[in-house]
Amino acid sequence: MISNYKKVYFIDDDPIFVFISRKLILEQKFCEDLVVFENGKLAIEDLLDIENKGEQLPEIIFLDLTMPVMNGWEFLASYQAAPITSKNKIKIIVMSSSINPLEIDLIKSYPIVEDYIVKPLTPADLNKIINNNPINELKD
């Protein structure tokens, strides 16, 4: 699998999950540049910084929901309010270990979220993203 993605953000605080996912993403040649953040605050600060500098924004953001400092829900709220001009070109994919229907419904309520992945990340998940197929039917 080789994709045309240049830059991908991966926001998760679990070092083991990050290690395994990073290895998978690199082995699958999913993107050229993978940037990892351990919380949403660091990612938002970086997004605003590169937006101000006119540098390339990520094409995909993998977002965990449960993290310290700024969790995934807080990230989504900050991201929606942030002055980022090309938000419509960034796919946000929520990653969660939860299969709770209430949480999934809440994820669906965010129009900026493209899809969600039930952890762990798999080669099939990456393939579906590359082929633009929903992993889970997020949009009704």
Whether the CB-CB separation of 117 and 94 falls below 8 Å is answered with yes
Residue 140 has a pLDDT of: 42
Residue 29 has a pLDDT of: 92
Measured distance CA(134)–CA(60) in Å, rounded: 14
Phi-psi region of 121 (alpha: psi -120 to 50; beta: other; left: phi over 0): beta
The structural domains of the chain, with segments of one domain joined by +, span 5-130
- CA angle at residue 44 from 39 to 49, to 5 degrees? 130
Residue 125 has a pLDDT of: 93
**Positions in the chain short of pLDDT 50:** 138-140
Secondary-structure class of domain 5-130 per CATH: alpha beta
| Residue 13 per-residue DSSP state | -
Read off the pTM. Answer: 0.90
Per-residue pLDDT tens digits for 20-53: 999 999 999 999 999 999 999 999 999 999 999 9
